[in-house]
Amino acid sequence: MLSLSDVREARERVDGAARHTPLERSRTFSEMSGADVHLKLENLQRTGAFKIRGAMNRIATLSEAEREAGVVTASAGNHAQGVALAAQRAGVDATVVMPKFAPVSKVKATRGYGASVRLEGVDYDEAQAYAHELEREEDRTYVHAFNDSVVMAGQGTLGLEIVDDCSELDTVVVPIGGGGLISGVAVAVKEQLPDVRVVGVQAEGAASAAKSLAAGEVREIDRVDTIADGIATRAVGEETLEVMAAYVDEVVTVDDREIALALTLLLERSKTLVEGAGAVSLAAVLSEAFEYDDGETVVAALCGGNIDLNRLGTVIRRGLVQMGRYLKITIDLKDRPGELERVSSIVARTGANVYAVHHDRTSRDVAVNAAELELELETDDAEHAADIVDALEADGYVVEIES
């Protein structure tokens, strides 16, 4: 099984390739939660995620024959970039298989680091199956994203940094996809500070870890569905499950609404951009997915910042809805002069800002003498949004809340 000495040896190999990322206390999130919250800003890591740590450690241990043959891997994006950069630095040829629907930004970044990219399959697991075909056909070394003790040891260097920078911590919260990061971090932390609690977090739409731990064997789920694409795997690994069973204290889940809220709050309050997978640890703290005491020192690992810009707008909008800062409503109007002005005046009196207006007379669901009005509004909070709806309904309008 993975040991602390493995992680310490890995630190020597990845030093210079991986940065020692900042660990900062957040006054905002400490006040919001009641805990003493610190953020491990791994979104500032080279390639934008922790994966460079494990990839560099694995490639550094290749034999000369393996280096000559090259490597292959499968990834939804972050591991792809880590392997691509690590291989480039080591002068090793790399082929990366990514799902067809992987974020465009991650595909371009992986190619930018010099790897050959092939798009195969609808998710990570199908991409991985194709990568294993290439492994056999081309005699390449497969660099697994998580189910490899050498990769886990590399990821564990993040845990060494947490202990170095915050030795008085009580709880470490770490995302779980396949389990490589939390396995390495848990060993690095608990072998030095046995009383520290390690909490793993999965997205609700990709939650295989708790089922596997309860069963004592890997349990694969049928499908994944989450905005946290960086941890969207159907199953944890056999090797990672063994380590998690020995070192991880608790596994919890958060849903996409909670992830979007945490991501939006990080962006607005901490000026920190993360991807969905990078926000799940803070989401678990803010949603109280696990119990903690007032003043408890909690370190949340923000494991990546590689979010596609097209998805960012959607996620922020979801986060604003959760905060009560965005309101989308539909109203049926009488098709007569002055009705639109009447609604506008009500909205103006409430102090809302209008994002967009859509006025439709031709919808099949609208009476011949009526029109459908869709409004997108910027609001202060949930109470303000409710006041707007109340004001419109008090004036006789039937309001349907879309989001």
**DSSP H helical segments within 36-167, as ranges?**
51-60, 64-69, 78-90, 104-112, 124-138, 149-165
Q: Are strands 353-360 and 326-334 parallel, antiparallel or unpaired?
A: unpaired
Mean pLDDT over residues 14-36, rounded?
97
pLDDT at 124 over 80: no
* Most confident residue range from 13-27, 104-118, 123-137, 314-328: 13-27
- Give the confidence band of 402 by pLDDT, cuts at 50, 70, 90: confident
Counting residues of the chain whose pLDDT is more than 70, the rounded percentage is 98
List the 326-334 sheet strands across, edge first: 353-360, 370-378, 326-334, 399-401
CA gap 190, 194 in Å, rounded:
4
Among 82, 199, 95, 88, smallest CA distance to 138 is for: 95
Work out the angle between the directed axes of helices 4-14 and 180-190 (0-180°, nearest 10): 110
CB atoms within 10 A of CB 249: 15
Q: Which residue matches tokens 């109007």?
A: 333
Give this prediction's pTM.
0.89
CA gap 370, 362 in Å, rounded:
9
Q: What is the per-residue pLDDT for 361?
A: 66
CA gap 352, 369 in Å, rounded:
28
Q: What is the per-residue pLDDT for 366?
A: 62
**What stretch of H or E contains 214?**
helix 209-215
User: In the 8-state DSSP scheme, what is residue 303?
Assistant: -
Is 86 in contact with 55 (CB distance < 8 Å)? yes
Among 309, 315, 304, smallest CA distance to 75 is for: 304
Is 163 in contact with 184 (CB distance < 8 Å)? no
> Would the CA dihedral through 320, 297, 78, 124 be positive or negative?
negative
Q: Which residues contact 246 (CB under 8 A, 6 or more apart)?
A: 1
pLDDT at 362 over 80: no
Is 242 in contact with 187 (CB distance < 8 Å)? no
- Condensed to tens digits (0 to 9), the pLDDT of residues 338-353 reads 888 888 899 889 998 8
Mean pLDDT over residues 179-207, rounded?
97
Residue 283 tokens read as 């989401």
